Amino acid sequence: MDRVIFGDNQFFGVNHMSLDKAVSESQRFVSDEAIYRTLQDASDIGINTFMFTTHNRLIPIFDRMRKDGSLKDFRLIPCMPYAHKYADAVTELGVVGGLRKYLSGNFLMTAVKGGLSIVSNEYIEMMKILVDSELRPIAGLNLEAVFLQNVITDLLLGLGMYEMLAQYHAYIKQKYKVPAGVITMNLVKATEVFTNVLHLDDVIICSPVNKIGFRMNPSQEEVEGVLKLHKTPTIAMSVFASGAVPYREGIDYVSSLKCIDSILFGASTKEHIADTYNLIKSDFLN
C-alpha cells in the first residue's frame, strides 16, 4: 500500500473543526468536473491512491475513469458503507424498500432464494450482499483494499460482535483478493480485538493520529503506546486535526512515531495538495 493516500472529505464538505470551511469546500466541488480535476491533480503530483466513502456522488467519477483512461493507474480504497444513504432510504422507504433501492433485483432474488431473511438476523449473508453492492460502481478499476467505516466498526466493537468483523475480513480477502481494513475512533480497542481476540494481524487499521490528540481514543497516550508495538498495518488520518495543527508540525509528529505505515490526507487545490505532499516526502518518506 502507498505511504501517501488521498482522501475525499473535502469533496463532501466534511470538516470536524469548522462548519464554515466545510460549507466552502462543498460549494467548490458542486460539479463532477471539479472532483475529477482534483483527482487528476493529485495523480500528476505523484499520489496514486484514493481512499473514499461509497458516496453516490462518486459514481460518475468512476464511470469516467473507465471511459477515458486518464486515471487508469489510480488505486482505489472504498470505505463502506456510506451510512447516511441507507438511513435516508430506510426512513423514506422502510427496511425492505431501502434495501431494494441499493440492491439490484438479481441480488435481492439471490438473497431470497438462498434463504436470507431480514427478520431472522442472518447478518453475515446480508453483509456479503451489501459489500458486493457497494463495490459494483468500481468494477473493472484498480481495487487496492476495502475498508469498513468507523460507524460500523466501532458499533461492532462496542457490541462485542467480533465474529462479524472476522467474517468481513475473510470475505474481502477470499472474494476480492485484497487486504481488508477498518476505520475506527478507538485504535486501542480495535488493535486489541484484531490481534489478541481474532488473531488477525493483517487487518489495516486507519485511525486519527495527531499532535493534539484530536479524536484519539481512549487517550493520546494510550494510542501512542499501542502504535509503538506496531501490531497491525496502520494509516494515520486527521493528521492536521482539521486544520488545528500546522502542516509541518503535523507531519513531524507522525514521523516521530516511527510506526505509521501511511498518511491519509485531503486537500482542495492543486497547490495545497502539492505543498502537503512535498512536506510528507521531505520528512515522513525519508
Q: Domain boundaries in the chain?
A: 4-82+139-283, 83-138
- State whether CATH 3.40.640.10 applies to domain 4-82+139-283: no
Using only C-alpha atoms, the chain has a radius of gyration, in whole angstroms, of 19
- Cβ-Cβ contacts under 8 Å for 239 (sequence gap 6 or more): 209, 210, 245, 250, 251, 253, 254, 263, 264, 265
Within 13 Å, how many C-alpha atoms sit on residue 30's CB side? 4
Q: Per-residue pLDDT for the chain (286 aa), expressed as one digit of tens each?
A: 899 999 999 998 765 455 556 556 667 898 999 999 999 999 999 999 999 999 999 999 999 999 988 898 899 999 999 876 665 655 676 756 666 666 555 545 555 555 444 434 577 888 898 899 999 999 999 999 999 999 999 999 999 999 999 999 999 999 999 999 999 999 999 999 999 999 999 999 999 999 999 999 999 999 999 999 999 999 999 999 988 999 999 999 999 999 999 999 999 999 999 999 999 999 998 8
Tell me the C-alpha distance between 67 and 258, whole Å.
41
Q: How many CB atoms lie within 10 A of CB 239?
A: 24
> What pLDDT score does 12 carry?
87
- Cβ-Cβ contacts under 8 Å for 44 (sequence gap 6 or more): 270
Residue-wise pLDDT for 212-247, tens only, equals 999 999 999 999 999 999 999 999 999 999 889 999
Cα separations in angstroms, 117 against 18, 112, 250, 262: 43, 7, 48, 40
Instruction: List the grid coordinates of 196.
Output: 489478541
The sign of the torsion formed by the CA atoms of 88, 90, 96, 99 equals positive
Residue-wise pLDDT for 103-112, tens only, equals 555 545 555 5
Query: By the 8 A CB rule, do 100 and 108 touch?
Result: yes
Is the peptide bond prior to 137 cis by the omega test (within 30 degrees of 0)?
no
Instruction: List the grid coordinates of 269.
Output: 487545490
Measuring CA to CA, which residue among 211, 251, 204 is closest to residue 232?
Answer: 204
Full-model pTM:
0.88
